C-alpha cells in the first residue's frame, strides 16, 4: 500500500483515475461555543482532508473526536445551527462552502445521521422520501420511479405509509438510506451508517458502497468486518486533526485509541452471586399493529421458551423489526402479553412487579437520564427508599460514580455519549436489579466501554440479556444465545 498524494492510505486494487476534488478541507479549526460562555477547547485544529471525486473514504475516529461535527460542517449546518467558531477553507466540488446554504447542497451532498430520528421531518416513510425531491422540483413520474425503486431496494414497500414513530431503529436507518438513494447526490456522507442494521442490510449497504459511482465518505468509531477491502482510503481523526498512516499502522493505533487492546473485563471475572434467580417465559404471545398503515400484516410475537439465570450472559440477535424490542418491553413489564406467562423463580409477576425486577437500558440513554447533575441522577431512586438513610445514599452514590468514572457535579446533558451511557448503566447498577436487558449497548460505544459496562452490571450476579446486531461483539461475550425472526424466538 502506497501513500496517496494527500497522504491517506491507497489500496492498489481499488485505485482509480480521479476527476477532481469532491471535498477539500484546508486548515480547518473549529471550537464549539459554550452555553455558559466559558472558553471551550477546540475540536479541530489545522485539519486538512482531500477527498477525490468517485473515491470511497473511511474516516475512523474514536468517540467524541468530532466526526459527527465534521459531517455537519461539510453539510453546511454547523456552526449555523450548532454554534461555534469555524475557520479555514472548505471546498465542495470546486465551490466555496462558505458561500453556500444547506439547501444549495441538495444535489451535491447528502448525509445519513448516526441518530436517524433527528433527521425525520415528514409524517410517513413515503413523504420522507418525497420531500427533498419536491424541493428539487422533479416531475411526479420521476419521483414515483425513484421512490418505488428505493423502497424496493431497502425493503420498505410495506412501510411506505408508516409513521417513523412505529419503525424500529434499523428500519429508520433504512429509510434514511433510501432518502440517500432517491437524492442521488454526488457526495454521500454516512455517519455510523452500519449501526442498527442487521446483517442482511449491512451486506446490502456494503454492496451499494462497493458498486456506487458516487463519492462516499463513511465515518465510523469502530472498524467493522464489513469495511474490509471496501475503501480506497482510510484516514484517522485524532488529536484534532486527520492522520494518514499506512493501514497496517492505522488499525492497531485506532484499536489502542478505542481501548480494544485492553484485556476483556469479562474474562476471569469472579461473580458475587448472593441469591440465585431464574427468569422464565413460557408460550409468551403478543401482538402489535401499526396504526398508520393498512399495508402488511399485524406483527405477532411468539416465545415458546426463554430463560435467564443469575450471572448468565445471554445474547439476542435478529433482523430489524423481528420483535427484539417488543420482547424486551414484555420482559420488563412495560407491555402486557396476550398469552403465556413470565415468571421469576416460578412465580408469575404483574407488569409493575416485573419493572422492579428487570432493568431495561434503552438504546438511547437520553430517554433515561433527566436531572441537572450526576449526583441527583444517581440518588433519585435511592432517595425514595425509606430503608436508606441520607448518609448511606450519599456514600453509595459516591462509590458508584467512582466505579463508572463519573464526576458527581457534571451536567448529564453536556456529557459525552459514552459518559451518558455509563451514567445510564450506573443508575441501574444502584437499583441492583436481578436481571437486565441491554438494548444494542455496543452501538455507538467502543467494545471495551461496552464490555466494561456489562462486567460491572454482572459483578453482583445479575443475569444479562444483551441485544446486538454485531456478530463480532456477540462472539466476544456470549455464553448462550437466542435468535428471533419474524416474531418467533429460537435457542441458538
Partner 1 sequence: MTTSTFVAGKGWLYRFDPRAKILLMLLLCVWFFLPVHLVGLYCVVALVMFVGALNTGFSHVSKTFRSILPMLLFMVLFMPFNVRTGRPLFTLCTLTIVTEEGLLQAARLAGRFIGISYVCTLLFATTIMNEVMLALRWYRLPYKAGLVVTLAFTYIPFISDSFNQIAESHRLREADREQGRKFLQRLRDLVPTLTSALVVALRSIPNLAMSLEMRGLGLQNKRSQYHNLASYRHPFTHFLLSVIIPLVLWLLCKA
Binding to partner 1, residues 147-206 (CB under 8 A): 147, 161, 163-165
3-state secondary structure the chain: CCECCCCCECCHHHCCCCCCEEEEEEEEEEEECCCCCCCCCCCEEEEEEEEECCCEEEEECCCCCCHHHHHHHHCCCCCCCCCEEEEEEEEECCEEHHHCCHHHHCCCEEEECCCHHHHCCCCCHHHHHHHHHHHHCCCHHHHHHHHHHHHHHCCCHHHCCCCHHHCCHHHHHHHHHHHHHHHCCCEEEEECCCCCCCHHHHHHHHHHHHHCCCEEEEEECCCCHHHCCCCCEEEEEECCEEECCCHHHHHHHHHHHCCCCCCCCCCCCCCCCCCCCEEEEEEEEEEECCCCCCCCCCEEEEEEEEEEECCCEEEEECCCCCCHHHHHHHHCCCCCCCEEEEEECCEECCHHHHHCCEEEECCCHHHCCCCCCHHHHHHHHHCCCCCCCHHHHHHHHHHHHHHCCCCCCCCHHHCCHHHHHHHHHHHHHHHCCCEEEEECCCCCCCHHHHHHHHHHHHCCCCEEEEECCCHHHHHHHCCEEEEEECCEEEEC
Q: Using CB under 8 A, which of the segments 52-60, 118-126, 249-257, 399-407 binds partner 1? A: 118-126
Query: CB neighbours of 316 closer than 8 A, spacing ≥ 6?
Result: 324, 327, 465, 466, 467, 468, 481, 482, 483, 484
Q: What would you report as the CA-atom Rg of the chain, rounded to the nearest whole angstrom?
A: 24
8 Å CB contact between 440 and 196: yes
Smallest distance from the beta carbon of 121 to partner 1, in angstroms? 5
Site for partner 1 in 79-98 (CB under 8 A): 80-82
Which residue in 137, 272, 275, 409 binds partner 1 (CB under 8 A)? Answer: 137
Q: Using CB under 8 A, which of the segments 61-69, 75-83, 254-262, 455-463 binds partner 1? A: 75-83
Which residue in 87, 117, 407, 414 binds partner 1 (CB under 8 A)? Answer: 117
Q: How far apart, in whole angstroms, are the C-alpha atoms of residue 264 and residue 426?
A: 20
Between 52 and 115, whose beta carbon lies closer to partner 1? Answer: 115
Site for partner 1 in 53-72 (CB under 8 A): 72
Smallest distance from the beta carbon of 127 to partner 1, in angstroms? 5
Between 229 and 272, whose beta carbon lies closer to partner 1? Answer: 272
Which residue in 45, 119, 300, 309 binds partner 1 (CB under 8 A)? Answer: 119
Smallest distance from the beta carbon of 274 to partner 1, in angstroms? 14
Smallest distance from the beta carbon of 210 to partner 1, in angstroms? 26
Bridge partners of 191? 219
Smallest distance from the beta carbon of 297 to partner 1, in angstroms? 13
Q: Using CB under 8 A, which of the segments 37-45, 47-55, 130-138, 253-261 binds partner 1? A: 130-138
Q: Using CB under 8 A, which of the segments 25-33, 134-142, 220-228, 400-408 binds partner 1? A: 134-142
Q: Any contact of residue 429 with partner 1 (CB under 8 A)?
A: no
Which residue in 30, 63, 120, 404 binds partner 1 (CB under 8 A)? Answer: 120
Between 244 and 379, whose beta carbon lies closer to partner 1? Answer: 379
Smallest distance from the beta carbon of 105 to partner 1, in angstroms? 7
Smallest distance from the beta carbon of 371 to partner 1, in angstroms? 6
Residue whose C-alpha is closest to residue 234's, from 226, 225, 243: 243
Site for partner 1 in 326-365 (CB under 8 A): 332, 334, 355-357, 359-360, 362
Q: Any contact of residue 432 with partner 1 (CB under 8 A)?
A: yes
Smallest distance from the beta carbon of 385 to partner 1, in angstroms? 5
Q: Using CB under 8 A, which of the segments 34-42, 112-120, 198-206, 227-235 binds partner 1? A: 112-120
Site for partner 1 in 281-310 (CB under 8 A): 290-294
Smallest distance from the beta carbon of 288 to partner 1, in angstroms? 13
Smallest distance from the beta carbon of 250 to partner 1, in angstroms? 31
How many residues form the binding site for partner 1 (CB under 8 A)?
Answer: 73
Bridge partners of 31? 85
Between 45 and 161, whose beta carbon lies closer to partner 1? Answer: 161
Q: Any contact of residue 114 with partner 1 (CB under 8 A)?
A: no
Smallest distance from the beta carbon of 196 to partner 1, in angstroms? 17
Between 282 and 381, whose beta carbon lies closer to partner 1? Answer: 381
Which residue in 302, 340, 380, 476 binds partner 1 (CB under 8 A)? Answer: 380
Amino acid at each position: 500500500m502506497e501513500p496517496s498524494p494527500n497522504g491517506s492510505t491507497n489500496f492498489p486494487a481499488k485505485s482509480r483515475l480521479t476527476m477532481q476534488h469532491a471535498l477539500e478541507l484546508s486548515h480547518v479549526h473549529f471550537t464549539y461555543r459554550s452555553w455558559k460562555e466559558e472558553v471551550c477547547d477546540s475540536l479541530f485544529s489545522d485539519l486538512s482532508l482531500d477527498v477525490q471525486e468517485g473515491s470511497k473514504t473511511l474516516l475512523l475516529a474514536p468517540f467524541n473526536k468530532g466526526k459527527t461535527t465534521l459531517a455537519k460542517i461539510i453539510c453546511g449546518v454547523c456552526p449555523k445551527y450548532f454554534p461555534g467558531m469555524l475557520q479555514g477553507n472548505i471546498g465542495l466540488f470546486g465551490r466555496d462552502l462558505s458561500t453556500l446554504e444547506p439547501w444549495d447542497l441538495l444535489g451535491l451532498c447528502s448525509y445519513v445521521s448516526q441518530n436517524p430520528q433527528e433527521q425525520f421531518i415528514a409524517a410517513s416513510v413515503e413523504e420522507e422520501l418525497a420531500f427533498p425531491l419536491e424541493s428539487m422540483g422533479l416531475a411526479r413520474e420521476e419521483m414515483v420511479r425513484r421512490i418505488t425503486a428505493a423502497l424496493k431496494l431497502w425493503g420498505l414497500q410495506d412501510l411506505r405509509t408508516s409513521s417513523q414513530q412505529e419503525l424500529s431503529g434499523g428500519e429508520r436507518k433504512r429509510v434514511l438510506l433510501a432518502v440517500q438513494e432517491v437524492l442521488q447526490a454526488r457526495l454521500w456522507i454516512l455517519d455510523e451508517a452500519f449501526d442498527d442494521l442487521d446483517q442482511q442490510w449491512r451486506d446490502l449497504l456494503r454492496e451499494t458502497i462497493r458498486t456506487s459511482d458516487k463519492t462516499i465518505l463513511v465515518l465510523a468509531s469502530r472498524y467493522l468486518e464489513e469495511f474490509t477491502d471496501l475503501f480506497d482510503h482510510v484516514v484517522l481523526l485524532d488529536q484534532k486533526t486527520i492522520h494518514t498512516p499506512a493501514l497496517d499502522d492505522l488499525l492497531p493505533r485506532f484499536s489502542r485509541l478505542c481501548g480494544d487492546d485492553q484485556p476483556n473485563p469479562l474474562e476471569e471475572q469472579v461473580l458475587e452471586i448472593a441469591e440465585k434467580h431464574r427468569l422464565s417465559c413460557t408460550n409468551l404471545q403478543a401482538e402489535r399493529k401499526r396504526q398508520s398503515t393498512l399495508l402488511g400484516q399485524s406483527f405477532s410475537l411468539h416465545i415458546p421458551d426463554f430463560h435467564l439465570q443469575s450471572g448468565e450472559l445471554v445474547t439476542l440477535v435478529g433482523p430489524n423489526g423481528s420483535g427484539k424490542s417488543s420482547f424486551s418491553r414484555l420482559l420488563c413489564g412495560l407491555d402486557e402479553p396476550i398469552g403465556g406467562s413470565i415468571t421469576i423463580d416460578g412465580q408469575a409477576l404483574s407488569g409493575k412487579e416485573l419493572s422492579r425486577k428487570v432493568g431495561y437500558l434503552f438504546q438511547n440513554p437520553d430517554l433515561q437520564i433527566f436531572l441537572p447533575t450526576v449526583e441527583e441522577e444517581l440518588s433519585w431512586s435511592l432517595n425514595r427508599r425509606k430503608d436508606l438513610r441520607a448518609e448511606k445514599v450519599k456514600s453509595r452514590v459516591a462509590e458508584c460514580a467512582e466505579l463508572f468514572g463519573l464526576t458527581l457535579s457534571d451536567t448529564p446533558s453536556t456529557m459525552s455519549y459514552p459518559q451518558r451511557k455509563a451514567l445510564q448503566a450506573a443508575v441501574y447498577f444502584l437499583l441492583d436489579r436481578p436481571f437486565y436487558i441491554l438494548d444494542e449497548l455496543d452501538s455507538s460505544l467502543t467494545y471495551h466501554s461496552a464490555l466494561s459496562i456489562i462486567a460491572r452490571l454482572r459483578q453482583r450476579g445479575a443475569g444479562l440479556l444483551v441485544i446486538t446486531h454485531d456478530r463480532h461483539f456477540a462472539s466476544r461475550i456470549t455464553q448462550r444465545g437466542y435468535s428471533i425472526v419474524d416474531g418467533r424466538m429460537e435457542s441458538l
